[in-house]
Each structure stands twice: as C-alpha cells, then as structure tokens.
C-alpha cells in the first residue's frame, strides 16, 4: 500500500480537496486502484449538523454517512464509492479511544494523546485504506489522504504527529507528502511572494514532516525565478515545485499536474507499477473549451451567498449541460428576495430577483431546512408551473411543489408541511416516522435506496419527509406520484401532466452524478431547458451526434 498525504499551509480552503482528487485521478488513469480518506480535525462526529454557510454542503454516501463535501469531489473525480469511515474526525477518534478505555482495553494505563490517540489514527488509516471502493472489489493500491485545515492549527497537531510516526512505520518508499501552499500576488506590486510558503514549509518540517512535492496555488503561472527560490529555501528540487494556477475548470487540474511530471515523480518516488496513461479528463476539457451554446438555470435557495452550499447540485447541472453540448449559466436567487416583504423593504433586490427568475430557461429548487424563504420558493414554483418552464424540485423542493399545487390548484389555501405549520388543516407533507425531533445528528432517512416506478407514463421512468397519503387521491388530479419506496408508503417522485418538465424527487440524485454519467432528473431538466427533451425521447433516449444514452438511475437521500 502506498500512502500520499496532502497537507495545506497559509490559508484554509486553498484547494487541497481538488488537488487530492486530481492526484488520485491521474494515478487511477494509470491503471492503479485508488482510494481516498479525508481527515477533519474538528470535534464533531460527522458533518451532518453543520451550517452550509460554515462548511458548504453536507455530502451523503451510499451507507448514509454525512461527510465533508471533499468526499463528493473524490467520488466524482475517481468514480468510486466511499463509506462514512473514509471521513475521519477528531470526534470519531476520541470517541473510539474513550470507548476502548471504558471497556478496559488499555488495562489500567494512563490514556494519552501520544501514543493512544496517534496510534488510533494510524490504525484507522491503515484499516480503511485496504477497503475496496471500486465495483470490482479489488483492494486499493494507493491511498490519498487529505488533512483538513492548515499546518500549525492546534486541533491538527495530533494528526501531524501521527503521520510523523506513520512515515517510519510504513517505510519511506511507501509514503510521501504533498504540501499545498499559497503564493500571493499583491496588486500593488504584481510580484509573486514566496515568504508565506517558506514559513509554512519550515513549520511543517519542524513538526517532523518534510514535503516531497510543494504545490503552489497562484493566480498566474509560477515564474521560473520564483520556483527556484522556493526550491532553495524549502529543501526540494525545482522539479518538485508544482504550479497550480487558477484555471477555468477543475477538470483541467489533473492535466496540469500530469504535464509537470507528477506521475513520473510518483513512479520513481513510490516505485509504482504504472502502465499506459490514457488522459480521460482530456475529452471533458476539450468539450468545455468548444461549448458555444448557453443554457441558464435559476437556482432558488436560501444558502445562495456561498456556492459551496450547493456544490453537488452545481456539479450535477454541469455534468448534464456538458452531455447536451451546452455551457451552463447558474443564476443564484435567494428565495426570500422573491417574497412580498422584500418588495416593501428592498424593492430593487425584489425586482432583480424576479428578473433573474423570468430570464432563466429552467428552475431548480434544491433541498434545505427551516421556514425562512419557503414562501419565496413556492412563488418560484408557481411561476414555473404557470409559465410552462422546466422545473426540478429536490427534497424540500418537491415537498413545496406539492404544497403549491394543493394551494393554487386544489384551493387548499393553508396547505403546508408539518415542519413549518403543525396546525395546518391540510398537512400535505408530514414528518417521517424515523425522524427524531429531539436529536439533530443522523436522524434522517439516509443512504442509497430503491425507488419503484408505478406503471403509468413517466418522463423519469427512463431511468426525509414524505407526502401525506390522506390527501393522495385529491393531489393525483394531475400531479402524478410516479415513484414510491419499496414499501409503497413514501411518495418519492412527482410529475405534472401537460407540462414540458415539472418533476420533484424526494431523494438527492446529485450525489450520484458523474462527469460522463449525469444524474437523470438533472439531465431531464437541462434537456427541457435547452428544448431537446422531446427530440431526445423520440430518438429512443439518445443524443446526436455524440450518441449518449440515458444515464442509469441511482438515488441517495
């Protein structure tokens, strides 16, 4: 087993996740089996209770694990299936060590950070690295480990110490360290500054880890003199200083690394059995460069101030737009800005939001929690339904589509979800029986599950809360519940008759979307927005001239 540790310096959010994913991608393209582990030094057990504004979206895995969004990058880049144990947190480590202590596993010894916590970290990594993440069940050969945060953070110290010991346990030829650092370029001088990187590497080496590759994040390509200066002060060869400048698409990053000899370095440094290297990302990058037509989608949500809150949603839209040869334009709309109260308080913001919505070719209402902005989402859904605009509602978006239909078609003015109005006379959306309102973490219906399509015509039959069955007969007037869970108790998919594309799904299909295998509900939305859906259906679910077939259907909660 070969281990590649990715650390970061100077600032957090520097791009370690994309670089770790890109390293894994180019090694996998060489024929190697690659897995990935993300380490988050926070004390939380998992990411399930995080605010999207603080850490971005919570990514959900097949086994129901709620994890950091970087694991979504790993799955999309590497096309692998990870488990909740591929996301290691301080909380998980301390919980496992304390449980052992309570059972008496340490035989009365004083339990300390060194060696007990550091040993637990190493054992977790070695155990998880050997679990297959591919469909063929083969044990991985390379494990890419991303250490979250920044070198020098007090909470990451036990992990740094663990890997200082780990490099000797697994031997030098099986372990290497990539350090990602920032090269700032102040506008006042335009000069690329190396001092932050020098200080970061010095601190890392002082903690016992010496980087094998220094990947420099910069806004423009690294100058030769700057690269040589970093080489001199950071104790590496110039060829070990890799430039990762800002690029138009994250899918360019693997090619950027490969062009600078990263694969050759790993072959020599880790003695990897590398074969032919097909550049799988090359086709995607080429397509991105040649796209001329645009398609615009209005994303109506409540966390639109931070794009990372909807990372998987945006990626699913991008994958689908790429499949139909269009360049994606996402128009972010804060749903609260569509509400009448905003017209009174901030009329300019209100009219700008509605102008964005009305100028879009399709509407997407993603998942979310809480009552804020829900009325604005319902107004957007109402507009899409009446204007015959392509619409996709995911999770809460589907539930609000049912509420909108009940209010404005059936005339049930107070129709709502019990999450927002427990006293409603028409609670068309009710809490799931599994939901535990007294506990926040891990209480939803999570993970990969089956959806059964009913034997009625459906555009989707190509490939936490639930609807109240007491109102199904009335709702089925022309809002068809075409998909249910295997027990037939939960309504999972809705479609509206006589509409170009009006679909709602209770699950989160964006979590299974891949660059060359887009998610079917998102794919349908983009086809409809581009005016290609009917042609696609008439041709037997194939596109011309590239001949894509309809992607397979998987779903996660």
**Strand 175-182, strand 213-218: pairing:** parallel
Establish whether 510 is a catalytic residue.
yes
E strand or H helix that includes residue 93: helix 90-103
Distance CA 37, CA 16 (A): 12
DSSP lists the bridge partners of residue 297 as 330, 362
CB count in 10 Å sphere of residue 104: 8
Which among 234, 395, 403, 500 is annotated as catalytic?
Answer: 395
Which among 55, 319, 426, 508 is annotated as catalytic?
Answer: 508
Contacts of residues 59-64 at CB distance under 8 Å and 24 or more positions apart, as own/partner, are 59/311, 59/312, 59/511, 60/446, 60/447, 60/508, 60/511, 60/556, 60/557, 61/86, 61/447, 61/511, 61/556, 62/447, 62/448, 62/556, 63/447, 63/448, 64/442, 64/446, 64/447, 64/557
- 3-class SS at 196? helix
CA dihedral sign, ordered 333, 338, 341, 346: positive
Do the beta carbons of residue 446 and residue 83 sit within 8 Å? no
Distance CA 162, CA 78 (A): 27
Question: Which residue do the tokens 């423009």 mark?
Answer: 220
- 3-class SS at 226? helix
DSSP for 122-188, please give it: HHHHHHHHTS--STT-PPPSEEEEEE-S-TT-GGGHHHHHHHHHHHHHS-GGGEEEEEEEE----TT
Residue 324's φ and ψ, nearest 5 degrees, are -105, 15
CA dihedral sign, ordered 518, 521, 522, 525: positive
Which among 365, 447, 457 is positioned nearest to 66, based on CA atoms?
447
E strand or H helix that includes residue 327: strand 326-334
Distance CA 75, CA 253 (A): 16
C-alpha distances out from residue 239 to 212, 265, 320, 427, Å: 10, 9, 38, 64
- 287: phi > 0 → left, psi -120 to 50 → alpha, else beta; which? alpha
Do the beta carbons of residue 82 and residue 29 sit within 8 Å? no
Establish whether 508 is a catalytic residue.
yes
Do the beta carbons of residue 327 and residue 294 sit within 8 Å? yes
Which among 60, 64, 70, 63 is positioned nearest to 38, based on CA atoms?
70
Which among 273, 278, 280 is positioned nearest to 2, based on CA atoms?
273
Residues belonging to the active site: 395, 508, 510
């Amino acid at each position: 087993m070969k281990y590649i540790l990715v650390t970061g310096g100077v600032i957090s959010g520097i791009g370690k996740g994309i670089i770790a994913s890109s390293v894994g991608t180019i090694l996998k393209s060489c024929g190697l089996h690659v897995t990935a582990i993300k380490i988050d030094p926070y004390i939380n057990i998992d990411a399930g209770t995080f605010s999207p504004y603080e850490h971005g979206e919570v990514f959900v895995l097949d086994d129901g694990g709620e994890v950091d969004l970087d694991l979504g990058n790993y799955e999309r880049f590497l096309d692998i299936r990870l488990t909740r144990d591929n996301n290691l947190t301080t909380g998980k480590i301390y919980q496992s060590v304390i449980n052992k202590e309570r059972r008496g596993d340490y035989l009365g010894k004083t339990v300390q950070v060194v060696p007990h916590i550091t040993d637990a970290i190493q054992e977790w990594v070695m155990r998880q690295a050997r679990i297959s993440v591919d469909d063929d069940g083969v044990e991985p050969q390379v494990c890419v480990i991303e250490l979250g945060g920044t070198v020098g953070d007090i909470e990451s110290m036990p992990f740094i110490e663990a890997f200082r010991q780990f490099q000797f346990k697994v031997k030098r030829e099986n372990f290497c360290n990539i350090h990602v650092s920032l090269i700032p370029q102040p506008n006042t001088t335009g000069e690329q500054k190396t001092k932050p990187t020098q200080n970061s590497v010095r601190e890392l080496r002082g903690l016992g880890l010496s980087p094998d590759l220094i990947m420099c994040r910069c806004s423009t390509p690294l100058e030769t003199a700057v690269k040589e200066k970093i080489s001199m002060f950071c104790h590496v060869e110039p060829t070990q200083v890799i430039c990762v400048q800002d690029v138009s698409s994250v899918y360019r990053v693997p090619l950027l690394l490969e062009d600078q000899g990263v694969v050759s370095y790993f072959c020599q440094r880790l003695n990897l059995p590398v074969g032919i290297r097909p550049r799988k990302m090359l086709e995607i990058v080429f397509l991105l460069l040649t796209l001329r037509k645009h398609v615009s989608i209005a994303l109506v949500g409540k966390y639109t101030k931070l794009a990372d809150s909807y990372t998987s949603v945006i990626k699913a839209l991008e994958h689908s737009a790429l499949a139909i040869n269009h360049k994606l334009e996402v128009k972010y709309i804060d749903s609260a800005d569509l509400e009448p109260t905003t017209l009174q308080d901030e009329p300019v913001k209100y009219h700008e939001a509605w102008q964005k919505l009305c100028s879009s070719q399709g509407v997407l209402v993603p998942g979310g929690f809480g009552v804020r902005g829900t009325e604005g989402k319902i107004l957007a859904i109402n507009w899409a339904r009446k204007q015959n605009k392509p619409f996709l509602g995911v999770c809460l978006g589907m539930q609000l589509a049912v509420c909108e239909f009940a209010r404005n078609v059936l005339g049930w003015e107070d129709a709502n979800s019990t999450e927002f109005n427990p006293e409603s006379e028409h609670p068309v959306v009710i809490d799931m029986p599994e939901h535990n309102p007294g506990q926040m973490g891990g209480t939803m219906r999570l993970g990969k599950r089956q959806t059964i399509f009913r034997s009625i015509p459906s555009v989707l039959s190509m490939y936490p809360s639930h609807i109240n069955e007491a109102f199904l007969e009335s709702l089925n007037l022309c809002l068809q519940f075409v998909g249910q869970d295997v027990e037939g108790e939960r309504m999972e998919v809705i479609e509206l008759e006589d509409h170009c594309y009006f679909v709602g799904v209770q699950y989160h299909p964006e979590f299974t979307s891949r660059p060359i295998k887009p998610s079917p509900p998102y794919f349908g939305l983009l086809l409809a927005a581009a005016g290609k859906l009917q042609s696609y259906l008439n041709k037997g679910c194939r596109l011309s001239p590239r001949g894509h077939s309809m992607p397979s259907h998987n779903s996660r909660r």
